[in-house]
Structure 1
Amino acid sequence: MSDTTVYEIVWVLFLRPIQKMTTLTPLKKALNISQSNELTEAAYHLPLQAKRVLWLCLIQCYFNKNEPDDVSPLFSITVADYQKYFKVGVDTASTDMKKGVRALASNNVTFYPREGEYEEVTRPWLAEAGMKRGRGKWQVEFNYKVLPYLLGLTSQFTTYSLVDCGKLRSVKVIRLYESLCQFRQSGLWVTTAEWLSERFMLPASQRTNMAEMKRTFLTPALKNINESTPLKVGMRQDESGKLIFTIVDRNA
């Protein structure tokens, strides 16, 4: 697993002759999230509540490169977990979780495989989601074709702190932070405005106007990241139009 060491906060998912649910356990250390680079580089837009629901599932994932097909896609997440990790009241947690699960259930994610027949593949996130009556618990089943991307098709992961993400102001800023974390070891990320527009599903005003993208997205996003996370990031555009991000991890 690349980048920083992930604390022992994930549980090995049960093998699936019979579907079993995974649950979160109390944390003894700061919470880090690990997600596959395939998911970090995917194109999707989710509201913050759905992103948080996804996080609750991600921290349960254990990458088993020997038997990835035996991992269950079924997760159990609770209002109590949402309330605890995201520091909100029980009523807010209950409302947010319902909104988050519904948003996951109604949205798709697009992946860009490096190998195989297809250049890009779009799939729904979930196969099913159900709420237990009176228990504040949701049972979420991911689309079996999406699950490998949650667990990782390669051994490459992006690791970042959920605490840091909690200080960021929007889902698009969070997604930029996730992408920057993927390159914090090398300290350099070179990309294009087109890549950012496609992956982050930016509005037309930013897609067609680089100055507008900088003014309304990149500049305030990097200010938020520099002030609220361990990363210190600079950005410039070269003569060919490529965006060059320099990344310093102040915790390294």
Structure 2
Amino acid sequence: MPRSSALIVTKDNHLIEATYMLSLSEQRLLLLTIARIDSRAILQPGICHTITAGEIADSYNLPRDQAYELLIHVAERLYERSVVICNPDPDRPDVSHLRTRWVASIRYLPSRGAIELIFAPAILPFLSQLKRKFSSYRLEHVAPMTSIYAIRLYELLIQWREAGTRTVEIDWLRERFELGDKYPNIRDLKARVLNPAIEQINAHSDLQVRWEQHKRGRVVHALTFIFGPKPAPSKPDAQPSVPAKSKTAKPKLTRAYVERHAQPGESWEEAWERCRRQIEQESSG
């Protein structure tokens, strides 16, 4: 199995903006499983996905025994988890919300140090046959994160990576994170949710993020996140500059490249064609 540096997580944007709460172990298992799915293909109901403790350990840089315990924990609780997706079907505007489990079944295989997972049928349209309004990122960019809110916030931001800014209402964010009555004071929300999430995104992902708050009177009601790709690290022993006639290697137009550079609202075909034109222009420029 490829390491996390080669695994791409792709989700429908409705699923990224859904309301749910998952533990870190549950997040990690689901993200690893999703990264193994071809998001363009048809994912039939009942397909079994086998994840081993070894794959968990390799993807998240964990000791084998810790990865084994992770699987046990997930097998006990993930089946009970649900997710609420707003306006799930453009062909059914009368449906305002969809509530579904993440998985239809989980089987634990102790002799193999593995579990077998089958996704719930209602979740499949948000993971497969994705042609528009989806977002993708490398699993390695969230694999080291230990804050469940850091992973969620990172996903909410990469939807808008081309814009480099996103403003959200605090009540909307609290609902998406299923905070309930937790951290009603903005000071507690910053200390327990926002600051740790931003610190981990800046430390581990490909984004550099800062944020601003907006007030109505004396009450903070919204946040604006400003973000962009991290600058390439400078090399201490820099080599002489490359002659002007040398050209940067032409990027390869692959599925992974298109998914990383897709913009919100684009279909798969639109994203592919735009990336193709951009590569051609950069190569001839």
Same fold, TM exceeding 0.5? yes
Higher gyration radius (CA)? 2
- Secondary structure of 1:61 counterpart: coil
Alignment of structure 1 residues 196-211 onto 2, 5 Å: 196-206=173-183, 208-211=184-187
Q: Which residue of 2 aligns with 1:242?
A: 222
Distance 1:74 1:170 in 2: 28
Partner of 1:147: 124
Name the Cα RMSD after superposition: 2.4
The C-alpha deviation readout for 1:9-48, integer Å capped at 9, x for no partner, is: xxxxxxxxxxxxxxxx334954332222122111111111
2:35 maps to 1:59 = yes
Secondary structure at the counterpart of residue 227 of structure 2: strand
1:227 aligns to what? 203
| Structure 2 letter corresponding to 1:32 | I
What pairs up with 1:147-166 in 2 under 5 angstroms?
147-151=124-128, 154-166=131-143
Q: 1:203 and 1:251, CA in 2 relative to 1: closer, same or farther beyond 3 A?
A: farther
Q: What residue is the counterpart of 1:5 in the other structure?
A: none
CA distance in 1, matches of 2:114, 2:182: 40
Higher deviation after alignment, 153-162 or 190-199? 153-162
Task: Return the letter of the residue paired with 1:88.
Answer: L
Identity over aligned pairs, percent: 27
CA drift at 1:110: 0.9
* 2:19–2:175 CA contact under 8 A, matched in 1: yes
TM-score where L is the length of structure 2: 0.71
Answer yes or no: is 1:118 the counterpart of 2:95: yes
| Displacement after TM superposition at 1:96 (Å) | 0.4
Tell me the CA shift for residue 72 of structure 1. Answer: 5.2
The letter for the 2-side match of 1:245 is F
Aligned to 1:3: none
User: 164, 170, 195: which one pairs with 1:187?
Assistant: 164
**Ranges in structure 1 where 5+ consecutive residues have no aligned partner:** 1-24
Q: How far apart are 1:170 and its partner, in Å?
A: 1.1
Per-residue Cα deviation, 1:121-171 (whole angstroms, up to 9, x for no partner): 211112111123512222111111112122266523222232221232311
The alignment covers a number of residue pairs equal to: 225
TM norm structure 1: 0.79
Counterpart code for 1:106: E
C-alpha displacement of 1:189 = 0.8
185-194 or 108-117, which deviates more: 108-117
Unaligned runs of 5+ in 2: 233-285
Q: 1:148 to 1:251 in 2, by over 3 A?
A: farther
- Kindly state the Cα deviation for residue 56 of structure 1 after the two structures are TM-superposed: 2.1
Measure how far apart 1:70 and its partner are: 4.2
Structure 1 partner of 2:71: 97
**1:153–1:33: structure 2 CA closer, same or farther, 3 Å change rule?**
closer
Give 1:223 deviation, angstroms.
2.5
